């Protein structure tokens, strides 16, 4: 798995052998099983998650109903707000598949940035990319119909159809499973 991580990082900067060893020494790789809970509402955590393999999702539990807000798959980062504001989490994060994650927290980041300052620049670029993605998703949710959101998801993230249950995809799109079924049926007939 370290090879996958190193290939990802090397899209942004060439790694030295010393940097690779430092990353491996930090023991940041963790293996999780399908159904494992990474973060519960009300829990304090400083951890952020980078998905090397698998699929995780974030969701709120509102009046007993799960409201899926995001799916994170290979080479995507989940940064819970509680990891930055030191308050209890307002949402949950769990594994939809067996997953291999890189777990980071302020201590590991500080150590890495102190030893290798150029990683801070790479993380800034990654943060900017994440911010753009989040802004696009928010704008899309406000300006597109559920059918347009579904079509966009099919175009940009077709793998989610096989990786996540329909009720979670519907929740992610802001609709009921029945509405998603109608959209799928209508699209199949055109």
Q: What is the rounded CA–CA span in Å between residue 73 and residue 105?
A: 19
What pLDDT, on the 0 to 100 scale, is given for residue 3? 85
**In sequence order, which ranges of 58-105 are alpha helices (DSSP H)?**
82-85
Average pLDDT of the residues of the chain? 93
Confidence bin at 36 (pLDDT 50/70/90): very high
156, β-bridge pairs = none
Query: Is residue 139's pLDDT more than 90?
Result: yes
Confidence bin at 26 (pLDDT 50/70/90): confident
What single-letter DSSP state applies at residue 127? H
Give the residue, 22 or 173, on which the prediction is more confident: 173
Confidence bin at 24 (pLDDT 50/70/90): confident
Confidence bin at 1 (pLDDT 50/70/90): confident
For the chain, which residues make up each domain, given as ranges?
2-117
pTM of the entire predicted model = 0.89
Q: What CATH number was assigned to the domain covering residues 2-117?
A: 2.60.120.10
What pLDDT, on the 0 to 100 scale, is given for residue 98? 97
Helix (H) and strand (E) counts for the chain? 9, 8
Q: What is the rounded CA–CA span in Å between residue 163 and residue 159?
A: 6
Q: Supply the DSSP string of 2-28, one letter for each residue.
A: HHHHHHHHTTTSPPPHHHHHHHHHTT-
């Amino acid at each position: 798995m370290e090879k996958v991580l190193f290939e990802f990082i090397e899209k942004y900067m060439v790694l030295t052998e010393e940097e690779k060893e430092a990353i491996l020494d930090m023991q940041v790789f963790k293996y999780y099983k399908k159904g494992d809970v990474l973060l519960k509402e009300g829990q304090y955590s400083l951890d952020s998650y980078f998905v090397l393999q698998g699929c995780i999702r974030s969701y709120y539990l509102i009046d007993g109903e799960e409201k899926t807000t995001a799916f994170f798959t290979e080479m995507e980062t989940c940064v819970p707000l509680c990891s930055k504001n030191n308050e209890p989490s307002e949402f949950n994060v769990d594994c939809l598949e067996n997953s291999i994650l890189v777990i980071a927290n302020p201590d590991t980041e500080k150590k890495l940035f102190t030893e290798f300052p150029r990683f801070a620049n790479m993380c800034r670029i990654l943060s900017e990319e994440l911010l753009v993605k989040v802004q696009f998703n928010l704008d899309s949710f406000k300006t597109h119909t559920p059918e347009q959101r579904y079509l966009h998801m099919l175009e940009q993230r077709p793998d989610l159809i096989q990786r996540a249950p329909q009720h979670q995809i519907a929740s992610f799109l802001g609709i009921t499973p029945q509405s998603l079924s109608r959209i799928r049926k209508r699209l199949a007939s055109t």
